[in-house]
């Protein structure tokens, strides 16, 4: 279910495309987290803070902490306002956060980070981010931080996308035309088989999720819906099998060019019912008739 994506911790990968953008879904999931009382940290690389906060009301906006990598990510202006260590430093700073309580981190977008950082370092940092331990000296298990990452899948090759996909606990691929948007959701729960669902949804102007129909397919990461195969032996214009009578008739048929003993007898003695035939020949003056038997020297 699309609205239970946030129940699991770990990395949630939102894969969108030019035809079907995913930032609205990201904002809808952020709103859900904020409504649950969590704090949400957003690493914004692609849109300005105003554009990102647009559409949220004030109490949700108060729970969002926007780390601005849009204005000057590479420190070109050199006015001291940019992150001193660049995008990687900003990402690592999120790992070192010490706020208590559950927290959601939204990366807008992972594509931007993947274009500017080596894939291995990004994957290691993401893994550290989503398995963060809140207090190193406490005996509690590692706190699961929820990480939402937006990925534009046409911008990267299969290698980096596959690496991020294998890190993700949930992978949502958006597709759809015009008014119908659907999400293919792949769950990777630990020690369980991956499960797959497809859900149609729409997003309302206030970034609430409006869920529509859903279908579930178990244990198939990349399924085709199983179609019932038509029986190819139905509705034929010819027989595939023989009845008993037909089998007997077939077995008792003598083939025309098969030389059996009956045929030999029939050839050697001309049967009683056969009409004898004669040839009458009148030789003319130029014929050279030889009355010797040309087969005389044959030893039959």
Partner 1 sequence: MFPELNNLLNTTPDRAEQGKLTLLCDAKTDGSFLVHHFLSFYLKANCKVCFVALIQSFSHYNIVGQKLGVSLTTARERGQLVFLEGLKSSVDVFFRAQEEPHPLQFLREANAETLQPLYEFVREALKPVDSGEAAWRYPVLLVDDLSVLLSLGVGVVAVLDFVHYCRATVCWELKGNMVALVHDSVDTEDEENDVLLNGLSHQSHLILRAEGLATGFCRDVHGQLTILWRRALRTTAQREQILTYQYKIQDKNVSFFARGMSPAVL
- 172 lies in the site for partner 1, by CB under 8 A: no
Task: Decide whether 103 or 122 has the Cβ nearer to partner 1.
Answer: 122
In three-state secondary structure terms, 267 is helix
Min. distance of Cβ 43 from partner 1 in angstroms?
15
- Element holding 51 (H helix, E strand): helix 49-53
CB atoms within 10 A of CB 130: 22
CA distance 42 to 6: 16
Residue among 7, 178, 230, 255 that touches partner 1 (CB under 8 A): 178
What number of chain residues touch partner 1 (CB under 8 A)? 32
Residue 256 burial by CB count (10 A; 0-12/13-18/19+): exposed, middle or buried?
Answer: exposed
Task: Decide whether 154 or 246 has the Cβ nearer to partner 1.
Answer: 154
Q: Please choose, out of 43-51, 189-197, 211-219, 286-294, the segment that lies near partner 1 by the rule CB under 8 A.
A: 43-51
Output the CA torsion sign for 282, 285, 291, 292. negative
- 79 lies in the site for partner 1, by CB under 8 A: no
- 278 lies in the site for partner 1, by CB under 8 A: no
- 212 lies in the site for partner 1, by CB under 8 A: no
- 207 lies in the site for partner 1, by CB under 8 A: yes
CA dihedral 84, 150, 36, 61 (to 10 degrees): 50
Residue among 4, 48, 212, 219 that touches partner 1 (CB under 8 A): 48
Name which of residues 49 to 68 contact partner 1 (CB under 8 A).
50-51, 55
Residue among 79, 138, 140, 179 that touches partner 1 (CB under 8 A): 179
Q: Where are the beta strands (DSSP E) in the chain?
A: 10-16, 39-44, 64-68, 103-108, 146-152, 170-177, 180-187, 195-203, 209-218
β-bridge partners, 218 = 195
Min. distance of Cβ 190 from partner 1 in angstroms?
31
Name which of residues 220 to 249 contact partner 1 (CB under 8 A).
none
In three-state secondary structure terms, 19 is coil
* Alpha-carbon distance values, 100 to 5, 8, 39, 79, 135 (Å): 22, 18, 10, 33, 9
Q: Please choose, out of 81-89, 177-185, 217-225, 284-292, the segment that lies near partner 1 by the rule CB under 8 A.
A: 177-185
- 32 lies in the site for partner 1, by CB under 8 A: no
Name which of residues 113 to 152 contact partner 1 (CB under 8 A).
115-116, 152
Residue among 13, 14, 25, 103 that touches partner 1 (CB under 8 A): 25
Min. distance of Cβ 184 from partner 1 in angstroms?
16
Residue among 19, 85, 99, 218 that touches partner 1 (CB under 8 A): 19
β-bridge partners, 174 = 183
CA neighbours closer than 13 Å in the CB half-sphere of residue 300: 4
Which stretches of the chain bind partner 1, using CB under 8 A?
18-19, 21, 23-25, 28, 46, 48, 50-51, 55, 70-74, 76, 111, 115-116, 152, 154-155, 178-179, 181, 202-205, 207
């Amino acid at each position: 279910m699309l609205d239970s994506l946030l129940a699991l911790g770990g990395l949630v990968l939102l894969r969108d495309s030019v035809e079907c953008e995913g930032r609205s879904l990201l904002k809808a999931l952020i709103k859900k987290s904020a409504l649950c009382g969590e704090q949400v940290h957003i690493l914004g690389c692609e849109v300005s803070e105003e554009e990102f906060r647009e559409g949220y009301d004030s109490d949700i906006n108060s729970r969002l902490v926007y780390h601005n990598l849009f204005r000057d990510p590479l420190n070109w202006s050199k006015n001291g306002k940019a992150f001193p260590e660049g995008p990687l430093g900003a990402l690592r700073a999120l790992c070192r956060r010490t706020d208590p309580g559950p927290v959601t981190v939204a990366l807008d977008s992972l594509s931007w980070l993947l274009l500017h950082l080596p894939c291995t370092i990004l994957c290691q940092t993401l893994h550290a981010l989503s398995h963060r331990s809140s207090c190193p000296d406490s005996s509690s298990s590692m706190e699961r931080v929820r990480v939402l990452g937006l990925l534009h899948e046409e911008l990267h090759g299969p290698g980096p996308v596959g690496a991020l996909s294998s890190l993700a606990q949930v992978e949502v691929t958006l597709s759809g035309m015009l008014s119908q948007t659907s999400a293919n959701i792949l769950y990777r729960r630990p020690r369980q088989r991956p499960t797959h669902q497809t859900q149609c949804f729409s997003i309302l102007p206030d970034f609430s999720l409006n869920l529509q129909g859903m279908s579930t397919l178990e244990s198939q990461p990349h399924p085709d819906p199983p179609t019932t195969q038509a029986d190819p032996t139905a509705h034929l214009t010819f027989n595939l099998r023989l009845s008993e009578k037909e089998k007997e008739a077939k077995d008792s048929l003598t083939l025309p060019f098969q030389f059996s003993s009956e045929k030999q007898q029939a050839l050697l003695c001309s049967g009683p019912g056969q009409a004898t035939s004669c040839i009458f020949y009148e030789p003319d003056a130029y014929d050279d008739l030889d009355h010797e038997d040309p087969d005389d020297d044959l030893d039959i």
